[in-house]
Amino acid sequence: MTADDLTLALGDPERVHRREQSAVLRVNESDAEALTGDPENPEDDHRMILNMGPQHPSTHGVLRLMLEMEGETVMRSKPVIGYLHTGMEKTAEGLTYLQGPTNVTRMDYAAPLFSELAFSLTVEKLLSIEVPARATWIRMLMCELNRVSSHLLFQATNGMDLGAVSMMIYGWREREEILRFFEKVTGLRMNHNYIRPGGVAADLHDGWRQDVRELLDMLPARLKEYDTLLTNQPIFQERLQGVGVLNPAEALALSATGPILRSTGYSWDLRRHAPYMFYDQVDFDVVVGTWGDCFDRYAIRQNEIRESLRIIEQILDLMPEGDYRVQNKKVTPPPRVRIDESMEALIHHFKIFTEGFHVPEGEAYVAVESPRGELGCYIVSDGTPKPYRMHIRGPSFVNLQTLPHLMEGGLIADGVAVISSVDPIMGEVDR
Amino acid sequence: MTEENTAPEEEVSEETVEEVDLGPVAYGVPVTESFGQTVLHPAPDQLIETVTVLQQDGFCMVIDLTVVDYLTHPGRTDLPAAVTPQRFEVVVALINHQQSTRIRLRVQAGNNQPTVPSLFDLFPGTEAMEREAWDLFGVTFTDHPDHSRILMPDDWEGHPLRKDHAVGDIPVQFSTTVGN
C-alpha cells in the first residue's frame, strides 16, 4: 500500500503520517541488517541503525533499543523488549488466589506492594467482600511508603545515569531505611506477599508509629539535600530541561499515565480523580508539570515524595484499631490457636491451603495509581479456586511506547536521560 | 373482568418480546454490567464504529487491551442473549477523564482464526497492547502498522497464553537465527 492509497483509505493525512513517518522504527532486525549504505555516495542519507543494550548500564535492566541515527541525532527508534518475559500471566492461572500475590509482586520489583494491592482488590471485588478499615489503612500506609521508596530509587538511578554518581549512594541509603521498615512489617525487603485477598498478612508490629515517625523526620531534610545536589544545580538543569518533550495530546493518545502524563500539565491521578481505598479522606496535592520534559518528570517525582509523606503523616492519626483481615472463614486462614480447639477451624485451614477458596464466576478490572501510572488487574474467574485468566496492565509496558516520541530529534546522550525519566521497570514491562 | 385480564397480559408479552429480541442496548450494541462497570459487547465489525462514538463521547484513552481464551470455560453466563460466546474474546478498557468513568468492550473475536480491526488509528497507544495480544494469543489485528511479536522471540512457534499451549511442554529455545 502506498502513502496515497493510505490517505484514501484513512481519509486523514495526520493518520498517514503517524503510520509512515512517525518516531517509531517499525523494522525487525533481519530487515535492518539487510539495509546497506554507501559512505562514498553523496546521495546516500547516511543514516545508520544502531543497537543499544540490552546489557547497558543506563537501560535499567534489559531494555534494548534500535536507534536510527543521523550523526549524533536519534531519528526513529524502537524499544525491543521481552528479555525478562517469564509468562507470569500464565503462571497465575496455575496458582490459587491466596498464592496469587507471590506471583504478581515480582512484576514491578521496585513497587511490589502496588501489584499485590491491585490483585487483592480485584479478587475482593469478585468475592464481594469488604476488608476491615484497619486493613485498608495499613495498605495505604505501606503503599505510600512504597511510593516513596520507588521514587527514591528513581532519584538514585536518574542521578547515576546523568553522571551525578553520588546521588546513587544517597538515594539508595534513604530507600534502605524504608525497606528496613518493610522488613520489620512483612519479613522481606522486597516481594513481600503482604497484601493478600481479605486484608494483610500480619498486623503492624509494636512501635511501628515510632519507626514511621523516624522516617518522616529523616526524609524531608534529605530531600532538601537532593535539591541542593540536583534540583538547583545548573549542570543538572541544563541536562534535563527541554529534553524529551511530550504534549498532553500525545501523552493521552499513547495511553501514558502517571508522572509522564502529569508532566505535560495534565492533572490525572487515580487517587484524586477516581478515589479507591480511603484516599478521599486524606489531604494531598496532585503534582503536575508544565513543559512535559525530563526535568518536569524528575521534579514531579521529587514532590510526590513530599505529598506521600504528607499522607503518611495523616495516616498516623487516622489509623483505627481493629482487625487487619476480614473474618470470613472461607477466605482467611484461622488463627493457629483455633486449629487446636476446633475441628471446623482445622477443616477450613486445610481447605484454604490445599484447594484454596472458590471465587464466584465473573470478571472484574480494578486499577490503582502506582508510582509509574495506572496499574490495573483484570481477572476472569470460572468459579474454581484458581483464576481462569489474570492480566496485569503494567504502566511501564504502556509508558515505554512514549520513548521513541521522546527521543526523536534529540542527541543520543539525551536518550539516556529520557530512558531514565520514563522510569521503566523491566520486570513489569515483560512480565 | 375479561378486559382487565387481557390488558396486562398484552403488556407482559410485549415486554418479554423486547427483552428476548434486543436486551439492553447502549451505543447501539448489547450492554451488561459487571461490578458497577458498564460492559459493551460489540461484534468485531462494529468495534471501530463503537470506539469512534466512545471517543467523541469523551473516552479519551484506551487504558488496556487484552485477550481471554475461553477454550476450557465455554459456558460463561455473563454474556447478553444477543451475543454468541466464542473461544477468543478481546477485552478493551476505555476511560473517560472528564467524568472519571470506565467502560469495557468485550468482543467475540472468533473460534479458529480470531480477527478484529486494529484500534491504532483511533488510539495509537494500543500498538504495543495489540502486538502483545497477537504474540501471546494469536489474535490478528487487521491494519496494524507493525504486526509482529513483542515479548516472545521472532522465531517462536505458537501462542503461549492459549489454553491449549500447555505449561512446560516445550524446552527452552535458544535462538540461533537472526530474530527480533
Tens digit of each residue's pLDDT (9 = 90 or more) over B93-140: 999 998 889 999 999 998 888 999 999 888 888 999 999 999 999 999
Question: Number of folded domains in chain B?
Answer: 1
Residue A220 lies in a domain: yes
Q: What residue of B is the nearest CA neighbor of A431?
A: B151
User: Exposure of A33 by Cβ count < 10 A (0-12 exposed, 13-18 middle, 19+ buried)?
Assistant: exposed
Residue A219 lies in a domain: yes
Residue B59 lies in a domain: yes
For residue A125, which residues of chain B lie inside 8 Å, CB to CB? 35
Q: For residue B104, what are the domain limits? A: 23-125
The reported pLDDT for the residue numbered B26 is 79
Query: How many residues appear in chain A?
Result: 431
CATH number of A416's domain? 1.10.645.10
Residue B90 lies in a domain: yes
Residue B60 lies in a domain: yes
A52 touches chain B (CB under 8 A): no
Task: Give the model's confidence band at A113: pLDDT under 50 very low, under 70 low, under 90 confident, else very high.
Answer: very high
Cβ pair B125:A256 closer than 8 A: yes
Residue B80 lies in a domain: yes
B74 touches chain A (CB under 8 A): no
Residue A415 lies in a domain: yes
pLDDT tens sequence across A146-179? 999 999 999 999 988 888 888 889 999 999 999 9
Give how far B113 is from chain A: nearest CA, Å: 20
For residue B151, which residues of chain A lie inside 8 Å, CB to CB? 81-82, 85, 430-431
d(CA B101, CA B94): 9
Residue B139 lies in a domain: no
The pTM for the full model equals 0.88
For residue B150, which residues of chain A lie inside 8 Å, CB to CB? 81-82
pLDDT tens sequence across A316-355? 999 999 888 888 877 888 888 888 888 888 888 888 888 8
Residue A277 has pLDDT above 50, yes or no: yes
The reported pLDDT for the residue numbered B80 is 83
The reported pLDDT for the residue numbered A55 is 76
Question: Number of folded domains in chain A?
Answer: 1
As a whole number, mean pLDDT of residues A38-62 equals: 75
pLDDT tens sequence across B144-175? 888 888 998 888 888 889 888 877 655 666 66
Among A residues 269-298, those touching chain B with beta carbons less than 8 Å apart: 273-274
B99 touches chain A (CB under 8 A): no
Residue among B66, B121, B126 minimizing CB distance to A15: B121
Task: Give the model's confidence band at A29: pLDDT under 50 very low, under 70 low, under 90 confident, else very high.
Answer: confident
To test the contact with chain B by mutation, choose from A31, A86, A255, A390 the residue with the greatest count of B C-beta atoms within 10 A, namely: A255
3 state SS for chain A: CCHHHHHHHHCCHHHHHHHHCCCECCCCHHHHHHCCCCCCCCCCCCEEEEEECCCCHHHCCCCEEEEEEECCEEEEEEEECCCCCCCHHHHHCCCCCCCHHHHHCCCCCCCHHHHHHHHHHHHHHHHCCCCCHHHHHHHHHHHHHHHHHHHHHHHHHHHHHCCCHHHHHHHHHHHHHHHHHHHHHHCCCCCCCCEECCEECCCCCCCHHHHHHHHHHHHHHHHHHHHHHHHCCHHHHHHHCCCCCCCHHHHHHCCCCCHHHHHCCCCCCHHHHCCCCCHHHCCCCCCCCCCCCHHHHHHHHHHHHHHHHHHHHHHHHHCCCCCCECCCCCCCCCCHHHHHHCHHHHHHHHHHHHCCCCCCCEEEEEEEEECCEEEEEEEEECCCCCCCEEEEECHHHHHHHHHHHHHCCCEHHHHHHHHHHHCCCHHHHHC
Q: What residue of A is the nearest CA neighbor of B64?
A: A393
Asked whether this complex has an ipTM greater than 0.90, the answer is no
Residue B167 lies in a domain: no
Helix axis angle for A294-318 and A412-422, nearest 10°, is 20
Residue A221 lies in a domain: yes
Question: Grid coordinates 531519528 are at which residue?
Answer: A75
Residue B99 lies in a domain: yes
B174 touches chain A (CB under 8 A): no
For residue B174, which residues of chain A lie inside 8 Å, CB to CB? none
Q: For residue A307, what are the domain limits? A: 88-430
Residue A64 lies in a domain: no
A380 touches chain B (CB under 8 A): yes
Residue A45 has pLDDT above 60, yes or no: yes
Residue A23 lies in a domain: no
CATH number of B94's domain? 3.30.460.80
B150 touches chain A (CB under 8 A): yes
d(CA A141, CA A131): 15
d(CA A381, CA A185): 31
Cβ pair B151:A82 closer than 8 A: yes
Strand partners, A390: A379
Q: Which of A68, A48, A110, A108 is nearest to A410 (CA)?
A: A68
Question: Which three cell numbers, joined as nine digits, stand for B24?
Answer: 439492553
Q: Which of A194, A90, A86 is nearest to A140 (CA)?
A: A194
